[in-house]
Amino acid sequence: MHSRLYKPTLIWLQGVTCNGNTHSFLNLPYLPQLLERFEVLYHPLLPCTQSLAEIARCKRGCNVLVFEGAFDPEMERAGTTLKQLVGHYAGEAGHIIAAGSCASFGGIFKASAPERNSGLAFSGEHPDGPLRGRVGKVINLSGCPVHPEWLGYALMSIADGRPVAVDDLGRPTALYRHMAHDGCLRNEYFEWKVDVEQFGRKEGCLFYEHGCRGPLTHASCNRTLWNGVSSKMRVGTPCFGCTEPDFPRRNLFETKTNMSIPEEVPVGVSKRAYLTMTGIAKSFKIKRLEERLIDDD
């Protein structure tokens, strides 16, 4: 454990971004306590000790680099290209955090300029980003935006000097070993293959017809809720798979099916076995799951 007196220096840089990760971070309930553990040299919104122009001169380094947004080598911040900025600070930093899917894999802004933009270490699922070869040093916190608690976990681990284990895509296993499906309140409907009849209902599963990628997406959105209270599926919105390297996919509100069975089956499940199980599950007629849960509103 590092002494509490030691404060790692932190710089938060932005590539091609919507600032969604910055704003998501501000929702962290223990933000003031977390900020106490770092010396924030630069952040695009929070109080910090240096200006962007000073940071862009690349004179000093930092212990922790947080990068938000897709990497476009030619893009400039205060007259310095991202290539120079990332090259300098990533070289100096002991820890690099790619905050959000754009910084992790390219995300939305790789989709807008695929030939130019990428993530830091990855481009899509391939380790082809400018920081390739530093997989492990670069912690990918994918998600569009990053969940504040995931960022809190990674930064607090760094502040405490605790190593963060990551998966093949550089994502902390503690956060991404689960599927977004885990903890979903619609799991009983998923089990018995009862689809939501239509949007706007709390009853039914969104996986079969309505585009939900929960069983195909590594994320803990339903274990650690968004804004402390909810998640997409809890409000009837399908999971769009925003933590995966192929986000944003197309036709996001519908499930591609084959003979009314989803073409992609849950991660790790054999397709043949899944088809058999689906047939059996569907043969049950469970009255409780076919009724409205609450009709006395």
Partner 1 sequence: MMTRALIEHIEGEASLYFDTRGDKITWAEIAFPHFRGMERMLEGRKATDALVITPRVCGICGHAHLMATVRAIEAAYAEAGYPVELTRKAKSLRELTLVLEMIQNHFKWLYLVIMPELEKLGIEGLAPAPLKGAYAAAQATKILALFAGQWPHSSYMIPGGVTCDPTHLERIQAAGLLDELIAFFEKETAGVDLDTLLTFASCREFNPLQSDFGRLEKGLIAAGMHKKGMAYDRFVVLGEHGFTVRARLKHTRPMKADASQVATEAAVCRDEISHARNVRYGKHFYEVGPLARAIAADNALIKNMHRRYKDSVYTRVMARVYETALLLQRARKLLEHMELSEPSYIPPVALERVTAAGEGIVEAPRGPLIHRMRLVKGVIAEYGIITPTQWNLGSSVMSDPAPAQKAMVGAVDIAEATFIFRSFDVCSVCTTH
- Rounded to whole angstroms, how far apart are CA atoms 170 and 159? 19
Looking at beta carbons only, is 89 or 226 nearer to partner 1? 226
Q: How many CB atoms lie within 10 A of CB 80?
A: 17
Query: Which of the residues 25 through 54 are near partner 1 (CB under 8 A)?
Result: 26-29, 31-32, 35, 44-47, 51-53
Does residue 24 bind partner 1 (CB under 8 A)? yes
Only segment of 9-17, 130-138, 181-189, 272-280 that touches partner 1 (CB under 8 A): 9-17
Does residue 16 bind partner 1 (CB under 8 A)? yes
- Cα–chain center distance at 191: 26
Only segment of 105-113, 125-133, 152-160, 177-185 that touches partner 1 (CB under 8 A): 105-113
Looking at beta carbons only, is 20 or 172 nearer to partner 1? 20
Looking at beta carbons only, is 95 or 190 nearer to partner 1? 190
Q: Which residue has the tokens 């997989």?
A: 135
Short-list 73, 236, 251, 101, CA closest to 176: 101
Among 112, 173, 257, 270, binds partner 1 (CB under 8 A): 112
The 217-246 contact track toward partner 1, x by CB under 8 A, reads ----x----xxxxxxxxxxxx--x-x----
- Largest interatomic CA distance in the chain: 69
Among 9, 21, 123, 140, binds partner 1 (CB under 8 A): 21
* Rounded least distance, CB 225 to partner 1, Å: 8
* Rounded least distance, CB 241 to partner 1, Å: 10
CB 12 within 8 A of CB 22: yes
Looking at beta carbons only, is 230 or 276 nearer to partner 1? 230
Does residue 297 bind partner 1 (CB under 8 A)? yes
Among 59, 250, 272, 285, binds partner 1 (CB under 8 A): 250
Size of the site for partner 1 (CB under 8 A): 62
Only segment of 59-67, 87-95, 170-178, 193-201 that touches partner 1 (CB under 8 A): 193-201
Amino acid at site 173: T
Looking at beta carbons only, is 154 or 233 nearer to partner 1? 233
- Rounded to whole angstroms, how far apart are CA atoms 132 and 151? 21
CB 118 within 8 A of CB 71: yes
- 270 exposed, middle or buried (CB, 10 Å; 0-12, 13-18, 19+)? exposed
Positions touching partner 1 (CB under 8 A) are 14, 16-24, 26-29, 31-32, 35, 44-47, 51-53, 75-78, 108-109, 111-113, 144-145, 198-202, 221, 226-237, 240, 242, 248, 250-253, 294, 297
